[in-house]
Structure formats: C-alpha cells, structure tokens
C-alpha cells in the first residue's frame, strides 16, 4: 500500500462504515442516556463486526493490533455518529492492554466478549493530580500476601463506573517514577471498587473510580510488576493516530456541512459561495483536513508495520489532526452564522465534541514535547 493513499477495499470500508453510522448507529445513539454507557450501541457495533476488526487475532493466539483499521473506523464513524465512534474507541482503549500484555486466560476471558459487544472495557490511567504526567500517578498498590491492595482514585476514566473490567495502572514501587508502575486487569464488580459519572462538555461515558483496598493478585497482572508504564505507553502510541482519525472525521463532517450551506444560503443577493472570502476559507478547511488525514493514515501504517519513530509519527498525527479539526469546525460555524449555535445543530454538537481530543491521550503540548525530544535525540 502506498503511504499516502488507501486500497480500493479500504476506501469501500470507509464508505460502508459511514453509511452504517448514519443509517443504523446514529438512531441507536440518540436513544442512549447522555453520559452513560449505551450497551445497545456497543452490542450493535459488535453485531456489525466493527469491534472485531480492532482485534484481528481474536479467537487465536495472535496479539496483533490493527492501527490503520482503527483509524479508518474512527474517521468513518465520527463523520456519521460521534457517539458510535466514542463507543468503539473506548472499547479498544480499555481492551488493548489486555490484548498486548494479558495472559492467555485474561485474553480468552475478555477480548472475545468485547469483540462481540458483550463486555464493556475501561482504561484507568489518569488521576486528579496526574493527567498528562502519567508517570506521576499515585494509586497505591500495596503488597498484601500473594497480591496487592489498590487504594486511591482515578478520574476521567472511560466507561466508568459502568465498565465490566478496567485496565488499571497503579504504583507498586514508591518514588520510582515510570519504573514503579504496574498494570492490572480489574473486574468492575471487585469488592471495594466504586465510582460516579462525570458531567463533561460533551456527554461521553466518563467517570471517576475510587479504590478502597481493592484486592488484586498475580492472576490480575498485565505483564510484569513495575513494567506497567510501558503497557500504557504502547496503548497510547497506538491510539494517538486514531484520535487524529476521530478529529479528521469531525472535520470532514463540518466541511461538508459548510460547503452545502455556502451553496444554499443567499446573502446580499447571491449564494455565500460567490464570496471569495468564503471560497478561500472552504479551500483552507479542505486542504488542512486532507493534510491531517494523510498524516493519520501514515502513522497508522507505520504502527502496523513496526517502523521506527512510531511515537513521533503518532504525536505528529494527533497534533495536526486535532488542531485542524478545531479550526475547521470553528470556521464552519462562522460560515453558518448564528443558526449553528442553536442546541441540536450538527455544528453545535461538533463544537462541543472537538475540544476534548486536544487534551486527552496526551494534550497538544505533550505531543509537541514528544516531537521535540526526538528531534534533540536525533541531533545527538
């Protein structure tokens, strides 16, 4: 496959998924309760075979990830239903640590159930005082006989507090930075684990978890003790380009809405598209969106092929795509005028959705730091 284009089959996948998002998934999403897990939607993603595309080795011993497929799915879903996109993405985010680092028993228990939409996953890394600085997390895993007791708090956690299991990152060695973090898979019904929903700008299923001496043992380990930070970073390297894909999908939807509006809205005796300033703005929106799309696809392909510099290409893709989407949605609203500010308008919805990706899974400033670090490293 060329680095800057897709195969005909991949183009068809994007078209098919976008159609499903509009026709099948969006109505189910609309029936869900804002800010809560929509299990009907998750199940439909499983029934349509979209979740299983995230885990091409499901049912085998393969631990393969599918970064480019994840990007294509997220872009196509975002253009038709951001709620469906988020449901799929959160399933992958919570499950990939198990796929990559879990035991055979752990993967057999959780991954097939996620792939068919029967289990809901959560990714529990962030804490009130350690968001972007993930190595500073303080959820304590204190040794207790053959295992540990987890005590502390996680926040901004996907699908919390409703998930069936969480990939949880805790500190097993105090004052050791990233070297003292361990990853666990923790069932959602474990004694001592409680939580609550958080009301976000865009009503996604995000919440807070409280661990009150939650018992975990060696059967719950993802990988090895004190090596959990690498598990988290591997997952984030995979997901950063796909966050960019989510942003590209939203930018594409906003661009199409702006083009349609510019052709139908008459102002000062002519369609808006007759104004050079509008045409130039649309051209800029389209060019930036396509640039971001190419970078996202290239980063996804690089991950799948194991090319060097994955962290940098992923950071660049997320940085460019999320900043681009913010610009494109804002420009589309400016072209529409006040009607785009009415609650329920597509662009009003996208304006609330587009802000968060510039922060989560590494804020824009973190991506720039990753890129700069690798530039310095390359310069010796």
- How distant, in Å, are the alpha carbons of 116, 125, 225, 236, 277 from that of 232? 24, 8, 13, 6, 45
CATH number for the 229-378 domain, one of 1.10.10.10, 1.20.140.10, 3.30.360.10, 3.40.50.300?
Answer: 1.20.140.10
Q: Which CATH architecture has domain 8-119?
A: Orthogonal Bundle (1.10)
CA–centroid distance for 72 within its chain: 13
Token pair recorded at residue 71:
């990007």
Q: What is the 3-state secondary structure (H, E, C) of 341-368?
A: HCCCCHHHHHHHHHHHHHCCCCCHHHHH
Spans of all domains in the chain = 8-119, 123-226, 229-378
Angle CA(166)–CA(26)–CA(202) in degrees, nearest 5?
55
Task: For the chain, give the percent of residues with pLDDT over 70.
Answer: 96
User: What does the pLDDT read at residue 264?
Assistant: 87
- Least confident among 24-38, 57-71, 136-150, 194-208: 57-71
How confident is residue 2, by pLDDT bands cut at 50, 70 and 90?
very low
How confident is residue 132, by pLDDT bands cut at 50, 70 and 90?
low
Token pair recorded at residue 85:
């996109």
Arithmetic mean of pLDDT, 298-310:
89
How confident is residue 350, by pLDDT bands cut at 50, 70 and 90?
very high
**Neighbour-count burial for 49-64, b at 16+ CB within 10 Å, e otherwise:** ebbbbbbeebeeeeee
Rounded distance between C-alpha atoms, residue 22 and residue 79, angstroms: 9
Mean pLDDT across the chain: 92
pLDDT surpassing 90 at residue 146: no
How confident is residue 4, by pLDDT bands cut at 50, 70 and 90?
low
Identify whether 57 is preceded by a cis peptide bond (ω within 30 of 0).
no
Q: What's the pTM?
A: 0.92
Which residues are catalytically annotated? 361
User: What does the pLDDT read at residue 287?
Assistant: 98
User: What does the pLDDT read at residue 139?
Assistant: 94
Rounded distance between C-alpha atoms, residue 5 and residue 306, angstroms: 19
User: What does the pLDDT read at residue 1?
Assistant: 42
Tens-place pLDDT, residues 27-74: 999 999 999 999 999 999 999 999 999 887 666 666 666 889 999 999
What DSSP line would sit under 6-48, residue for residue?
Answer: --HHHHHHHHHHHHHIIIIIHHHHHTSPTTS--HHHHHHHHHT
| Alpha helices (H) in the chain, listed in sequence order | 8-20, 26-30, 39-47, 67-80, 82-101, 104-115, 228-264, 276-305, 310-336, 346-355, 364-378
CATH number for the 123-226 domain, one of 3.40.630.30, 2.40.110.10, 2.40.10.120, 3.40.50.2000?
Answer: 2.40.110.10
Arithmetic mean of pLDDT, 91-98:
96
- Are 31 and 40 contacting, i.e. CB atoms less than 8 angstroms apart? yes
């Amino acid at each position: 496959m060329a680095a800057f284009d897709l195969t005909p089959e991949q183009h068809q996948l994007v078209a098919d998924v976008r159609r499903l998002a509009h026709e099948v998934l969006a109505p189910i999403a609309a029936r869900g309760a804002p800010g809560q897990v929509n299990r009907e939607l998750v199940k439909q993603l499983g029934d349509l075979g979209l979740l299983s595309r995230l885990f091409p080795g499901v049912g085998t011993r393969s631990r393969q990830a599918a970064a480019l497929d994840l990007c294509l799915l997220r872009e196509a879903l975002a253009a038709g239903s951001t709620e469906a996109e988020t449901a799929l993405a959160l399933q992958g985010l919570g499950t990939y640590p198990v796929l990559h680092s879990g035991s055979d028993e752990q993967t057999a228990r959780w991954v097939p159930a996620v792939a068919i939409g029967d289990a809901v996953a959560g990714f529990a890394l962030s804490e009130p005082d350690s968001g972007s600085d993930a190595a500073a997390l303080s959820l304590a895993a204190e040794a207790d006989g053959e295992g540990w007791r987890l005590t502390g708090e996680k926040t901004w956690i996907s699908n919390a507090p409703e998930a069936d299991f969480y990939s949880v990152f805790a500190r097993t060695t105090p004052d050791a930075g990233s070297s003292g973090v361990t990853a666990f898979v923790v069932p959602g019904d474990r004694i001592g684990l409680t939580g609550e929903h958080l009301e976000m700008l865009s009503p996604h299923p995000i919440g807070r978890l409280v661990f009150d001496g939650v018992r975990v043992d060696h059967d719950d380990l993802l990988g090895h003790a004190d090596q959990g930070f690498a598990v988290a970073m591997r997952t984030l390297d995979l997901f950063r380009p796909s966050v960019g894909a989510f942003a590209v999908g939203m930018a594409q939807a906003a661009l199409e809405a702006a083009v349609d509006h510019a052709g139908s809205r008459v102002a000062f005796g002519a369609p808006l598209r007759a104004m050079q300033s509008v045409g130039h703005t649309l051209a800029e929106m389209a060019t930036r969106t396509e640039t971001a799309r190419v970078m996202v696809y290239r980063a996804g392909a690089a991950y799948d092929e194991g090319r060097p510099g994955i962290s940098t290409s992923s950071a660049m893709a997320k940085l460019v795509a999320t900043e681009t989407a913010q610009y494109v949605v804002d420009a589309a609203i400016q072209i529409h005028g006040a009607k785009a500010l009415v609650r329920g308008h597509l662009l009003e919805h996208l304006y609330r959705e587009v802000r968060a990706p510039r922060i989560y899974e590494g804020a824009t400033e973190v991506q720039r730091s990753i890129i700069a670090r690798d530039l310095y490293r390359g310069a010796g």
